[in-house]
Structure formats: structure tokens, C-alpha cells
Amino acid sequence: MAQTKDYLKLHFIVWIWGFTAILGLLITIPSVEIVFYRTLLAFIALGFLLYFRKRNFRLGRNEITKILATGLLIAAHWILFFAAARVSTASVCLAGMATCSLWTSFIEPVLNKRKINAVEVLLGVVVIIGLYVIFRFEFDHALGLSMAVASAFLSALFTVINGKFIKKHNPYMITFYEMIGACLGTALFFPVYMMYFSGGELNLSPTMVDWGWLFVLAVICTVYAYSVSVDLMKQLSAFVINLTVNLEPVYGIILAVIIFGEKEQMAPGFYLGTLIILSAVLTYPLINRYKRRRAMQVDHLR
């Protein structure tokens, strides 16, 4: 019974993450400004949480610098993510984000200096086929899909980097400094953004409704969802959690169709391409689990 509650809670968290692209459409201020306020509110909320839990904020100058720099990658990831939903649709954005775990399968071997797995390469080709199908039938959304794929790449990159940080530091402390880095990075991007993308203007005046959605985005989708997902690792295996998180694009696309209706309706080719991508994403952890079981059986026979 307790494990069933954990599974339901995990799926609820994935539904929350699937809602982020929709929030990017519901909030009226531009994507860059959304990221600025999301990271600002998130690190303030985390700061209060860590302060009342009496955490030591000292990690060493070099470590803090590295984590702050990783925050810049997160800022770029979120800017591309919300912009992708704006220039296309939430469904197209989430379809591109479905490539994240496969980007990780290529980035991790490079950064950790190990051989690239042939199965991972094959699955990568399957993802490319899925993207080709989407491009073929939804070429009007090519820019949004490209931005979402780039966002997925950055997400995979900072996730692998965080895998190194988490061996030495508390995950909440990592997130706190990364949110500071992301907020500062977004602010430093403002001059370039104003010069080349926004017509010389910044929209830092959210409406009251925007503030409500920004609060949901920062506190619930960022601080709360992250905290609960970490806590669930005490009860559920990493395989179960990662497999379920891969369903985020599916949940997000369902929510987008329910909320936005006809605006999110795509040609059948879009859903075929998305299905191809998700089949590769979901197959990858299954293959890994099968290989681990085979290895354990061989060791047992010895």
C-alpha cells in the first residue's frame, strides 16, 4: 500500500513537470523574463528553506563557482524551453524535450571518458527518424522543435554535471546555487536580449495572474517537485523514477490538448513522430535493466 502511494506521488510529480510548458504559455511576459522570475523566486524560497533547516551554505569558492556556472546552462535551457513553446506549441516543445535522456546517453560517456554504447547510438538514430517524421509533417514548427531539442541537449549536459556534484554536496544546496547562477545569467543576458531580440524593451511587470502562475512555476514545479522527487529515491529505485520521468512529454501533451484544445491539435504525422521518439526513450532504460540482470546472472553462475 505504501509503495502504491509512492508510485502515485511520483506520477503526480511528473504531471507537474509536464505542466511547465503550459505555464510558459499562460504567463504573458516573454520567455527570458519568465526564467528571470522563476529562478529568482526559486532561490529565495530555497534559501528560506535551507536557512530554517540550519544548513551550512559554505561549499568552498571553487565549488560554488562551478555550480554557479552550471546555473548558466540551466538558464539557457529554460529560455529555449519556454521560447520553443511560444514559437510553436507546448506539444512540439515537449516532443523535442523527449530527446533529453538519449542526449544524456551520448554526453555522459564523453564527460566520464568511457566507450559509447552501440545500442545507445542505434536508439539515437531512432530518435532522429522520429524528428524527421515530425519535421516532414509539421515543418511550420521546425524552429520551435529545433529550440526544444537544443534545450534538451543543455538539460542533458547539466544533468550529467550534477551527477558529479551530488557525490559531494547536498542536492538542495546544489539547486540553491544553481538557481542563483541561472538568475544572474539571465540578468547578464538582458543587454543582448534587448539589443537583438526584444526591440530594446524588457517586460518586468507581470500581471497579478502572471505572479500567481510564476509562483506555481517557481515553488511547485521547481522547489516542491524537485524536493519530493529526491525524497522518493529513498523508497523507489532510480530505474523506476527515470522510467516514469520519461513520460513527462506524454503527460504534458495530454494536458496541452485538454487545456488549449484545437490550438494543440497536430497532423497525425506529429503524433507518429512523437511515438517513435518516446519508444526509443522508454526502450533505453529497459535495455539497461535487462543487461544488468544478465550480468548478475553470469556473476551468480560463477
The domain limits of the chain are: 2-301
* Residue with grid cell 543576458, as numbered in its chain: 189
Long-range interactions of 192-196: CB distance < 8 A, separation 24+: 193/32
pLDDT digits (tens, 9 = 90+) for 184-229: 999 999 998 898 777 788 999 999 999 999 999 999 988 888 777 7
Residue 29 has a pLDDT of 93
Distance between CA 53 and CA 234 in Å, rounded? 20
Is residue 94 pLDDT above 80, yes or no? no
Residue 42 has a pLDDT of 93
Is residue 26 pLDDT above 80, yes or no? yes
* Residue with grid cell 511515438, as numbered in its chain: 275
49-63, 102-116, 129-143: least confidently modelled range: 129-143
Q: Mean pLDDT throughout 80-101? A: 81
Model confidence band, residue 263 (pLDDT cutoffs 50, 70, 90): low
Q: Mean pLDDT throughout 257-282? A: 74
Residue 70 has a pLDDT of 94
Distance between CA 172 and CA 62 in Å, rounded? 18
Q: Mean pLDDT throughout 42-57? A: 88
Percent of the chain with pLDDT over 90: 25
Residue 90 has a pLDDT of 76
Residue 246 has a pLDDT of 64
Between 209 and 104, residue with greater pLDDT: 209
Between 253 and 110, residue with greater pLDDT: 110
CA angle in degrees (0–180, nearest 5) for 279-143-192:
125
Q: Pick from 95-99, 212-216, 232-236 the range whose average pLDDT is largest.
A: 212-216
Q: Mean pLDDT throughout 129-143? A: 74
Is residue 286 pLDDT above 80, yes or no? no
**How would you classify residue 177: left for phi > 0, otherwise alpha for psi between -120 and 50, otherwise beta?**
alpha
Between 292 and 34, residue with greater pLDDT: 34
Give the mean pLDDT of the chain. Answer: 82
Is residue 280 pLDDT above 80, yes or no? no
Model confidence band, residue 230 (pLDDT cutoffs 50, 70, 90): low
Residue 275 has a pLDDT of 83
Between 98 and 183, residue with greater pLDDT: 183
Percent of the chain with pLDDT over 70: 87
Q: Nearest-CA neighbor of 93 among 151, 136, 23?
A: 151
Distance between CA 78 and CA 31 in Å, rounded? 8
Model confidence band, residue 139 (pLDDT cutoffs 50, 70, 90): low
Between 288 and 189, residue with greater pLDDT: 189
DSSP line for the chain: -HHHHHHHHHHHHHHHHHTHHHHHHHS-S-HHHHHHHHHHHHHHHHHHHHHHTT------HHHHHHHHHHHHHHHHHHHHHHHHHHHS-HHHHHHHHTTHHHHHHHHHHHHHT-PPPHHHHHHHHHHHHHHHHHHHH-GGGHHHHHHHHHHHHHHHHHHHHHHHHTTTS-HHHHHHHHHHHHHHHHHHHHHHHHHHTSTT-------HHHHHHHHIIIIIIIIIHHHHHHHHTTTS-HHHHHHHHTTHHHHHHHHHHHHHGGGG---HHHHHHHHHHHHHHHHHHHHHHHHHHHHHHHHHH-
CA torsion sign for 221, 2, 237, 171 is positive
